[in-house]
């Protein structure tokens, strides 16, 4: 089993330590000043704990930044990015001093906030406060579950977070911390930078929580260090946290933002703007430092140099254990994100089944869970309604470790943790809730798209079709919001067969998240050629073709496809040749070649009607200036679903009338 420390912990070399700490402070000041934007004060305050963690406690390997058994370091207060960039550079990662000099510039490897996949060694994209805490909870969940499946010889690492006052205020941090305490994620440590400063002033104007008591109530251990410059006290707290496995640990670290800037330390001015050249000059004088911009003490490089060699040794030992492990190939495949051969062979054939798409999704999910051990996830307290109460595998809880999650009523915390599970590696995570509660998940969903993470969202109760719960629960604008997110693929299947194919799409995507938009109400099984259902992956396809060349096209998604089909039956009987196009995914259709798009929606046919029980926003691109969009430009109401569809005009009769007016 590997050690949890980066290097054996002897006495702290105080002189060498301060050379590293002050180098970090200088790099933070100079980089922000050169960029004329950024946040210097927090990296300066956190330099001592950053040095001690990365030099003495963090298990990492700069030459092998993707080593699966590394400790995860999450800078939840992403505005303090220069702390992370400085530590990466000094520790020997592939991040040069020139990269730091190019902070926040076009093409830079050091953007304003850390970005996963953009800068080596950055575990997750942070900036929106609270997200990093949520991501870290997901990482700790993934570590525990992966260790239960492959053993501590291959998986035995910790997750460390640096968080700010803002992280403690944001709601997602509350949700995630509550869950972590409940699950007793003992390999998770949050270092709370208690500097009492936000942009608007001292935190006392808005934030007087007793954070220690709050975390204790969540079930966390709480340690505190009252001096952010006390190397011995910080080191002892980190060692204490690293020795624990029963509960997550919060270390409240009292720091002074901007320390030791003579006039701006402990002020809001040190938070989000350059210190100014005069202040930097005076600070360097206090530090007895060279006035040369971006000067790093040679002793700092010497002090940090052993980290890489020790990391190489850790990786070499781990690779030997992996080679001898009976499941070595499976482990490598899991970390690579590969699906087992034939994983989809047992997907059910639901082509003749009339089911709610949430029910069809459950059947597909159960089949996938049997063949894909990497699948893990669950619902935000709506498992029965979302169709995620499958019976394959144990529940992940304090005493059992399985792939089925109960997230509780924590939609945002769930979505943030899913991102952490995905970036950790080894799993294909999914989470479920009602589509209306996408509003609570949205910031994390956006970050999943930004990071290109293969997270699957199951959003059920997708329209006014949920009925009597009324407008508070009936999503109107959520589809438009999802479709506006770059890199997101949204699928709203028309029936059970399309739902199964939507799951096939979701599981094979590797470069971004997928949202499955599913109904509460039953959907009629559509008649189509057997090979046509596979065209779900193309985003749109011809579902109904008239006997003669079409003069009009009706485009629909989800539950409105059956409405479109009934309208087409009437129109074709009248001699108005009408094609029905099922369009489960705008994004996938956009990705098709010109030939497919022209085949499905010929430019010569301008008589087009689109119907969807949601906002009509964006549909004009598919129907053109001459076409008609039937949707909802208002909120819903409380009544049975059939009544709502009739009263709001989402009917075959209205579709047929719209086509007649155009054809």
- For 566-609, the pLDDT digits (tens) are 999 999 999 999 999 999 999 999 999 999 999 999 999 999 99
537-662 and 16-313 share a CATH fold: yes
- Domain ranges (residues) in the chain: 16-313, 355-523, 537-662
Cα–Cα dist 330/328, whole Å: 5
> How much is the average pLDDT of 355-361?
98
Catalytic (active-site) positions? 411
Strand order in the sheet with 456-460: 404-406, 375-379, 428-434, 456-460, 514-517, 489-491
pLDDT of residue 9: 73
Cα–Cα dist 616/560, whole Å: 13
Q: What is the pLDDT of residues 60-96, one digit of tens each?
A: 999 999 999 999 999 999 999 999 999 999 999 999 9
Q: What share of the chain in percent tops pLDDT 70? A: 99
Q: What is the CA radius of gyration of the chain?
A: 28
Q: What does pTM read for this prediction?
A: 0.97
Q: What is the pLDDT of residues 465-517, one digit of tens each?
A: 999 999 999 999 999 999 999 999 999 999 999 999 999 999 999 999 999 99
Q: What is the 3-state secondary structure (H, E, C) of 332-355?
A: HHHHHCCCCCCCCCCCCCCCCCCE
Cα–Cα dist 103/31, whole Å: 6
pLDDT of residue 26: 98
Q: Minimum mean pLDDT among 155-159, 454-458, 528-532, 641-645: which range?
A: 528-532
pLDDT of residue 596: 98
**Does pLDDT of 2 surpass 60?**
no
Domain 355-523 has CATH 3.40.50.970: yes
Q: What is the pLDDT of residues 232-287, one digit of tens each?
A: 999 999 999 999 889 999 999 999 999 999 999 999 999 999 999 999 999 999 99
Give residue 4's pLDDT band: very low, low, confident or very high (50, 70, 90): very low
Determine the distance from the C-alpha atom of residue 446 to the mean position of all C-alpha atoms in its chain, rounded to a whole number: 7
pLDDT of residue 244: 81
- What count of residues does the chain have? 663
pLDDT of residue 530: 73
pLDDT, averaged across the chain = 97
Report the topology of domain 537-662. Answer: Rossmann fold (3.40.50)
Can you state the percent helix, strand and coil of the chain, rounding each to 5? 45, 15, 45
Give residue 423's pLDDT band: very low, low, confident or very high (50, 70, 90): very high
Give residue 3's pLDDT band: very low, low, confident or very high (50, 70, 90): very low
**Residue 538 to residues 269, 505, 591, 597, Cα–Cα distance (Å):** 52, 10, 8, 9
pLDDT of residue 402: 96
> How much is the average pLDDT of 410-423?
98
**Residue 482 to residues 297, 421, 477, 585, Cα–Cα distance (Å):** 49, 21, 9, 11
pLDDT of residue 1: 39
pLDDT of residue 10: 87
pLDDT of residue 245: 82
Q: Rounded to the nearest 5°, which phi and psi values hold at 578?
A: -130, 130
CATH for 16-313 is 3.40.50.970
pLDDT of residue 531: 78
Residue among 476, 502, 504, 507 nearest 614 (CA)? 476
**Does pLDDT of 518 surpass 80?**
yes
How many other C-beta atoms are found inside a 10 Å radius of the C-beta of residue 333? 16
């Amino acid at each position: 089993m590997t050690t949890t420390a980066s290097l054996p912990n002897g006495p702290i070399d105080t002189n060498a330590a301060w050379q590293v700490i002050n180098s970090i402070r200088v790099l933070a000041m100079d980089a922000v000043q050169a960029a004329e934007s950024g946040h210097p004060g927090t990296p300066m305050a956190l330099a001592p704990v950053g040095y001690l963690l990365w030099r003495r406690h963090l298990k990492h390997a700069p030459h092998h930044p993707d080593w699966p058994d590394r400790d995860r370091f999450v800078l939840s207060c992403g505005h303090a990015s220069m702390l992370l960039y400085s530590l990466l550079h000094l520790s020997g990662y592939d991040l040069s001093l020139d990269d730091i000099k190019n902070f926040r510039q076009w093409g830079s490897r050091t953007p304003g906030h850390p970005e996963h996949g953009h800068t080596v060694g950055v575990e997750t994209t942070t900036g929106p406060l609270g997200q990093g805490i949520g991501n870290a909870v997901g990482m700790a969940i993934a570590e525990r579950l992966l260790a239960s499946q492959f053993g501590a010889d291959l998986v035995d690492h910790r997750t460390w977070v640096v968080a700010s006052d803002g992280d403690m205020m944001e709601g997602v941090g509350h949700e995630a911390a509550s869950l972590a305490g409940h699950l007793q994620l003992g390999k998770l440590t949050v270092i709370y930078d208690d500097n009492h400063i936000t942009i608007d002033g001292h935190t006392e104007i808005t934030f007087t929580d007793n954070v220690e008591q709050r975390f204790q109530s969540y079930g966390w251990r709480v340690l505190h260090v009252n001096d952010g410059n006390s190397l011995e006290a910080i080191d002892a707290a980190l060692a204490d946290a690293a020795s624990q496995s029963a509960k997550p640990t919060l270390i409240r670290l009292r720091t002074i933002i901007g320390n030791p800037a003579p006039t701006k330390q402990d002020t809001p001015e040190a938070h989000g703007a350059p210190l100014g050249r005069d202040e930097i000059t005076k600070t360097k004088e206090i530090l007895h430092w060279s006035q040369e911009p971006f000067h790093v003490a040679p002793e700092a490089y010497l002090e940090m140099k052993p980290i890489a060699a020790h990391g190489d040794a850790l990786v070499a030992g781990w690779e030997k254990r992996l080679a001898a492990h009976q499941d070595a190939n499976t482990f490598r495949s899991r970390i690579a994100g590969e699906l087992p051969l034939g994983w989809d062979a047992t997907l059910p054939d639901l082509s003749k089944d009339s089911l709610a798409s949430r029910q069809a999704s459950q059947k597909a999910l159960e089949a996938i869970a049997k063949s894909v051990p990497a699948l893990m996830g669950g619902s935000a307290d709506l498992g029965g309604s979302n169709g995620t109460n499958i019976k394959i595998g144990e529940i992940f809880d304090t005493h059992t470790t399985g792939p089925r999650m109960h997230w509780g009523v924590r939609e945002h915390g769930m979505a943030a943790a899913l991102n952490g599970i995905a970036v950790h590696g080894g799993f294909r995570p999914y989470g479920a809730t009602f589509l209306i509660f996408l509003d609570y998940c949205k910031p994390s969903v956006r970050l999943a798209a930004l990071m290109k993470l293969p997270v699957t969202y199951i959003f059920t109760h997708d329209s006014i079709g949920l009925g009597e719960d009324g407008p508070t629960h009936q999503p109107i604008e959520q589809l438009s919001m999802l479709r506006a997110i770059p890199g997101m693929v949204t699928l709203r299947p028309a029936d059970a067969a399309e739902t199964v194919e939507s799951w096939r799409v979701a599981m094979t995507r590797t470069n971004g998240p997928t949202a499955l938009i599913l109904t509460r109400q039953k959907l009629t099984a559509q008649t189509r050629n057997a090979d046509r259902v596979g065209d779900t992956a193309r985003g749109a396809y011809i579902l109904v073709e008239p006997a003669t060349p079409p003069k009009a096209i009706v485009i629909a998604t989800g539950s409105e496809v059956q409405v479109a089909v009934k309208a087409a039956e009437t129109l074709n009987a009248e001699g108005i040749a009408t094609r029905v196009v099922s369009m489960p995914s705008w994004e996938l259709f956009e990705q098709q070649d010109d030939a497919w798009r022209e085949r499905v929606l010929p430019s010569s046919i301008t008589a087009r009607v689109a119907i969807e029980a949601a906002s009509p926003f964006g549909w004009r691109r598919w129907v053109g200036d001459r076409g008609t969009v039937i949707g909802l430009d208002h909120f819903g109401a409380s009544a049975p679903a059939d009544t709502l569809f009739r009263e709001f005009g989402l009917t075959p009769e209205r579709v047929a009338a719209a086509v007649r007016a155009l054809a």
